[in-house]
Amino acid sequence: MASSMKSFADLQQVGKQLKAQQEQRAKAEAERLAREKQAAIEANIFRSSIGDVQVLKQPEKFHPIPKKPQPLPFKHIEDEQKALQESLSDEFDAGTLLESDDNLSYTRIGVGIDVAKKLRKGEWVIQAQLDLHGMRRDQARDSLGEFLRKCIRSGFRCVRIIHGKGLGSINKEPVLKNKVRNWLIQKDEVIAFSQATAADGGSGALIVLLRAS
């Protein structure tokens, strides 16, 4: 009898414990639901206050490509200067190639004699001129080469080179006058030249005929 009463008391105790656990779970569940409900209410309040949210489009990033400076053709310029200096030698003697008249005319092989005559008479229209007055030898030589290149590129055929009469030079010798003749004969683009007419400078200038470009 006493054993039966003890077992019944134990069952009652277990029942109470199970009931207490159920009540705790129910309470925890109720609290969870209440928190979720409150969170939903607050979320609705937030959304209603700020309105619809749109995702902003991110602009594409611009990566500028720096423009590279044009390379300077230093080597090309240097080669041209060397070629110019080498092509116009100061040691070249053109005396044997010039006609033995007072005008010291010159025509390249294959060019008709009448070309020099027309130059002497001033029958060609002068399209450009270069004044070498006051220049030193090296400066005059470089200026002459550059002038001839520009004239060929421009399609000029007849030009005037003013070298002066040498009256202001040492010993009154026309050094530059003779050098210009020597330089011109060495240039392939020069096919003829003659002393200018009195109206175009006389013995202080040359009328030069260039090949067609």
The phi and psi torsions of 107 (rounded to 5 degrees) equal -135, 135
End-to-end Cα, the chain, rounded Å: 141
**Mean pLDDT lowest for which of 27-31, 37-41, 85-89, 106-110?**
85-89
Q: What percent of the chain has pLDDT over 90?
A: 24
The pLDDT of residue 197 is above 80: yes
Tell me: the pLDDT tens digits for 91-134?
545 444 444 455 568 888 888 878 888 888 889 999 999 999 88
Tell me: the pLDDT tens digits for 41-80?
777 776 666 666 666 676 677 667 777 777 766 665 565 5
The more confident residue out of 7 and 117 is 117
Given this model, what pLDDT does residue 93 score?
A: 52
The pLDDT of residue 85 is above 60: no
Longest dimension (CA), the chain: 167
Given this model, what pLDDT does residue 144 score?
A: 95
Can you name the residues that pair with 193 across neighbouring β-strands? 106, 208
- Average pLDDT of the residues of the chain: 78
For β-strands 106-107 and 190-195, DSSP reports them as: antiparallel
The pLDDT of residue 190 is above 80: yes
This model's pTM is above 0.85? no
> pLDDT band at residue 6, thresholds of 50, 70 and 90?
low
Given this model, what pLDDT does residue 104 score?
A: 66
> pLDDT band at residue 175, thresholds of 50, 70 and 90?
confident
Burial status of residue 165 (CB atoms within 10 A of its CB: 0-12, 13-18, 19 or more): middle
